[in-house]
Amino acid sequence: MNLLYQSTRSEDVKVTASQAILKGLADDGGLFVPERIPALDVPVAKLAEMSYQEVAYEVMKLFLTDFTEEELKSCIAKAYDEKFDTKEIAPLADVDGVYYLELFHGATIAFKDMALSILPHLLTTAAGKNQVDREIVILTATSGDTGKAAMAGFADVPGTRIVVFYPKGGVSPIQEKQMLTQKGDNTFVVGIKGNFDQAQSAVKALFNDKALAAELADKGFQFSSANSINIGRLVPQIVYYVYAYARLLAQGKIAEGEMINVTVPTGNFGNILAAYYAKQMGLPIAKLICASNDNKVLFDFFCTGTYDKNREFILTTSPSMDILISSNLERLIYRIAGADAGKNKALMESLAKEGSYSITPEMKAQLSDFYGNFADEREVAAIIKKTYKDTGYIMDTHTAVAAKVYSKYVDQTGDRTPTVIASTASPYKFTRSVMNAIDLQYNTWSDFELVDELSRISGVRVPNAIEEIRTAPIRHNTVCEVEEMEAVVKRFLGV
Ligand SMILES: *Cc1c(COP(=O)(O)O)cnc(C)c1O
C-alpha cells in the first residue's frame, strides 16, 4: 500500500510521493506531510554494515513508496557518486568527544548538496511516472546555499529550467561568486533588492498564482520547488541521521540502542525536522537541540510558545540562517496540533496576517524533545577560535552557532549523552568570517589569500568548488525589485 501525502492545511487532498515531489507546495498553500511516519524496519546493527547509498535506500523506500526499487536505487547512485569528495559521503569528525557530522563534502560544499544532488533525479523520475510532458521550472529563493546547490543539481538536466533569487548584499562573497559563475543554459540567477524572507514569500506567491500557472501551462511550463518545503528534499535529509547513528555504532562509540542527542544550526527548520522524523521512525535520538543565530525567533518560540516574526531582520556571519519565517516549522505545528489541518491553518493565517501566532499549552507540552537556544556574533567568533586553538579543527560560522548552543546546553543541563552536531558548511564557504574569527589581522587580506591561508593553517586541501571559482567568468548579472520577480521569470522563459 502506498504511503500518501496530504497538505498541512486541509484533509481532502491526498497524493502519492511522486506527485508531492512534483508539486512542491500543496494548492492550498500548505506543505505535504506523510499520513504517518514509517518505522525503520532494519535493525541498526545491520545498518552499521551498510554504505551511505544502502542506508539511503532503506530509509527512502519507506517514504517514497510509489518509486520502484530500481528507480530509487538509480536516483541514489546518480546522486551520491564522485561529486562527493569522500566515499563516506557524510563523515563524522570526532572533535574532543563531540561528533561533527560533516554534511559539506558535495559539489557546493554546503549541506544542501545532501538533498539537492538527488532531487533532480527524483523529480525527473516523478515526472515520467505521472506523464508530465511540460518543462519543469524550478523557482527557488535562497539565503545563499540552496541556490548554488540546486543549480549544480539541475544544470543541463533535460526538461528542466531553474531560476534562483537571492538577497543582493545578504550572502557571503564566495556564495555570490559561486552562484554568479553558474554554468548551464537552463540556469538563471537574480539578485533581489530585499531580504531572504521577502524572496521566499514572493516565490510562494508565484507558486500560488493560479492565473500565472494557467498562462505558463499554455506555453508548456510547470513550476516546481527545490526549496526545503519539498518532501523530495526532506526525505533525503533523514538519511544522514540514520547513517550517523549507524557509523557511531560501527565505530564502537555507542552501544546498540543507546540514545544520542542531535544539535542542528537552524534556519528554515528543514534539517532539524528531518532529525525529528528520524526520531519518529524509531532512531534512538533523545534531544533535538535547535541552534539559532541572532535571528532567534525559534529560541523565543520554544521558550514562550509564541512565534513572532515582527522584529528586526539581522544580517549575521551565518547568512544561511538569517531567516524569520522558518517554513518547515509548519510541519511540526501540524503534528503537535494532533495532525489537525484546520488548527494548523488558523495559526498559519495568523502568521500571514499578524506576523505571529501562539500555540496552546497542550501543543507546547509536545515540544519537550526540543531544546532551543542561540549564539550571538561574538560567541560564534569566539568558539571558532577556541576550537581551533584547542583542537586544530576549523568549523564554519553556521556550525559554530550549533557548537556554541550545544555548549550552553551542556552547561545548563549537565547532559553528557553522546552528541552529533550537524556541520552544515565547509569553512571555505565563509572564509572571511572564519579567518577574522581566528585573527583580526586577516581583515585586510583578499578572499583568495584567505582561502590559501585557511588551507595552510588547517591542513585541509582547498575544495574543488572553491578552486573552480578562482578564475570562472561571471555569467549572471540580473538584479531586480521584489515586485519585478514575476516579470523576470517570464522574460527568462520567453513568455
Ligand atoms: C540552509 C543552511 C542552514 C539552515 O538549514 P535549515 O534546514 O534551513 O534549517 C544552516 N547552515 C547552512 C550552512 C545552510 O546552508
281-303 residue pLDDT tens:
999 999 999 999 999 999 999 99
Decide: 172 and 322 in contact? Cβ < 8 Å: no
Q: What is the per-residue pLDDT for 265? A: 98
- Closest C-alpha to 378, from 434, 418, 437: 437
Give the tens place of pLDDT for each residue, 407-441: 999 999 999 999 999 999 999 999 999 999 999 99
Q: What is the per-residue pLDDT for 228? A: 82
Which atom of ligand 1 lies nearest, measured to the CA of 429? 13
The domain ranges of the chain are 92-109+232-467
How does residue 375 score in pLDDT terms, banded at 50, 70 and 90?
A: very high
Q: Which amino acid is at 163?
A: V
The rounded distance, in Å, linking the Cα atoms of 22 and 187 is: 19
Residue 13 has pLDDT above 90, yes or no: no
Contacts for 395 with CB less than 8 Å, ≥ 6 apart? 100, 384, 387, 403, 423, 427, 434
Return mean pLDDT, the chain.
95
> Which stretches within 314-358 are classed as H helix?
329-336, 341-354
How does residue 183 score in pLDDT terms, banded at 50, 70 and 90?
A: very high
Q: For a substitution probing ligand 1, which of 321, 384, 404, 421 has the most ligand atoms within 8 Å of its CB? A: 321
Tracing cell 548552543 back to the chain, one arrives at: 405
Q: What is the per-residue pLDDT for 216? A: 95
- Closest C-alpha to 430, from 452, 398, 457: 398
Decide: 222 and 197 in contact? Cβ < 8 Å: no
How buried is 481 (Cβ within 10 angstroms: 0-12 exposed, 13-18 middle, 19+ buried)?
exposed
The residues pairing with 94 across neighbouring beta strands, listed in sequence order, are 99
The rounded distance, in Å, linking the Cα atoms of 431 and 71 is: 39
- Closest C-alpha to 289, from 419, 427, 377: 419
Backbone φ, ψ for residue 42 (5° rounding): -120, 130
Name the DSSP class of 85: S
CB-side neighbour CA atoms (13 Å) of 177: 17
Q: What is the per-residue pLDDT for 31? A: 96
The number of helix segments (H) and strand segments (E) in the chain equals 22, 16
How does residue 226 score in pLDDT terms, banded at 50, 70 and 90?
A: confident
- Reported residue count of the chain is 495
Ligand 1 centroid distance, CA of 19 (Å) = 25
CA angle at residue 334 from 329 to 336, to 5 degrees?
95
Q: For a substitution probing ligand 1, which of 101, 105, 114, 145 has the most ligand atoms within 8 Å of its CB? A: 145
Is the Cα torsion angle 82, 224, 430, 320 positive or negative in sign?
negative
Ligand 1 centroid distance, CA of 267 (Å) = 5
Ligand 1 centroid distance, CA of 424 (Å) = 7
Q: What is the per-residue pLDDT for 207? A: 86
Ligand 1 centroid distance, CA of 268 (Å) = 7
Q: What is the per-residue pLDDT for 189? A: 96
The rounded distance, in Å, linking the Cα atoms of 274 and 270 is: 6
CATH of domain 92-109+232-467: 3.40.50.1100
Grid cell in block for residue 68? 520502484
Which atom of ligand 1 lies nearest, measured to the CA of 271? 7
Q: What is the per-residue pLDDT for 237? A: 98
Is the Cα torsion angle 231, 266, 290, 356 positive or negative in sign?
negative
Which atom of ligand 1 lies nearest, measured to the CA of 112? 15
Ligand 1 centroid distance, CA of 114 (Å) = 12
Residue 204 has pLDDT above 90, yes or no: no
CB-side neighbour CA atoms (13 Å) of 41: 8
Ligand 1 centroid distance, CA of 495 (Å) = 34
The mean pLDDT of 372-380, rounded to a whole number, is: 98
Name the DSSP class of 40: P
Give the tens place of pLDDT for each residue, 139-174: 999 988 889 999 999 998 889 999 999 999 888 888
Q: What is the per-residue pLDDT for 144? A: 80
The rounded distance, in Å, linking the Cα atoms of 291 and 326 is: 13
Q: What is the per-residue pLDDT for 155? A: 92
Grid cell in block for residue 481? 525589485
Give the tens place of pLDDT for each residue, 310-350: 999 999 999 999 999 999 999 999 999 999 999 999 999 99
Backbone φ, ψ for residue 291 (5° rounding): -105, 125
Name the DSSP class of 462: P
Residues within a 6 A CB radius of ligand 1: 110-112, 145, 228, 265-271, 320-321, 398, 424-425
Grid cell in block for residue 355? 506576523
Which atom of ligand 1 lies nearest, measured to the CA of 398? 11
pTM, two decimals, is 0.94
Q: What is the per-residue pLDDT for 187? A: 96
Q: What is the per-residue pLDDT for 422? A: 98
